[in-house]
Amino acid sequence: MQIIPAIIPRSFHDLEKHIEEVKDFAEIVQIDIVDGKYAPNKSWPYTVLDDPDFGNLKSGENKLPFWQDIQFEIDLMVEKPENVWKDWIRAGAFRIIVHLESTSKLQEIIEDFRKEKVSQNSFLYSQIGVAIGASTPMEEIYPYLESIDFVQCMGNANIGKHGQFFDEEVLEKIKNIKLRDTGKPIGVDIGMNEKTIPLVKQAGATRVAVGSALFESTNIKETYKRLSDL
């Protein structure tokens, strides 16, 4: 089971602090970008369009920390992700996650991503995943499974906040996606901890995004290892 530390940054300092806590043992960190519209919470940076200094995220004073050491997975909990996803990939993000319910142009985003990946060297190793909400019928993800790199099942309908419980009804969704036998990784985000990770693993998940269960523990490194070994 791959454990991916998940951060909803409140400020640049908050982002830097949390990445510092995991950079020596975690290969990938998920940064949740929440615009306060698609999901009621709001994070920093809100969206690329709201951030006039986005061009400095790699080289400016407030550049994303440890960019050379960490692969960043950007979870776009935003309205109209079609307006911002390219900027994150071009800035160097390893993965982007687009929420199925956040856009009416999901197929266009996926097709555009594939075209860009062929034509842009910076896209060569990048990946695109689609998140599906806990209450969204699982059949809605099926048309996209062959053309994306992975699926992320949201463990609770209340997204954009840490400390939420895992809705065990999502286990059936994971099992059914696994039965499609596409070979694509299945991730789970929200409510992941020592009790729930074995459940989603048994259902077919191969990676989980972990927020509060990791960052609120007394020893983050030991907790990360313990969760990885479940």
Q: What is the pLDDT of residues 125-158, one digit of tens each?
A: 689 999 999 999 999 999 999 999 999 999 998 8
- CA–CA distance, 118 with 79 (Å, rounded to integer): 26
Residue 13 pLDDT level (bands cut at 50, 70, 90)? confident
Domain that holds residue 58: 2-228
- CA–CA distance, 77 with 8 (Å, rounded to integer): 11
Is the dihedral angle over the CA atoms 170, 175, 181, 186 positive or is it negative?
positive
**Token pair of 128, please?**
């695109």
Model confidence, pTM = 0.90
Residue 58 pLDDT level (bands cut at 50, 70, 90)? low
Q: For residue 83, give the CATH number of its domain.
A: 3.20.20.70
- CA–CA distance, 193 with 44 (Å, rounded to integer): 25
**In the chain, how many domains are there?**
1
Q: Give me the mean pLDDT over the 50-76 stretch.
A: 67
pLDDT beyond 80 at 15:
yes
Q: What is the pLDDT of residues 86-135, one digit of tens each?
A: 888 877 788 999 999 999 999 999 999 988 766 555 556 689 999 999 99
pLDDT reported for residue 41: 84
Return the higher-pLDDT residue of 69 and 25.
Answer: 25
Q: Give me the mean pLDDT over the 71-87 stretch.
A: 91
Q: Residue 124 half-sphere exposure, CB side, CA atoms within 13 Å?
A: 2
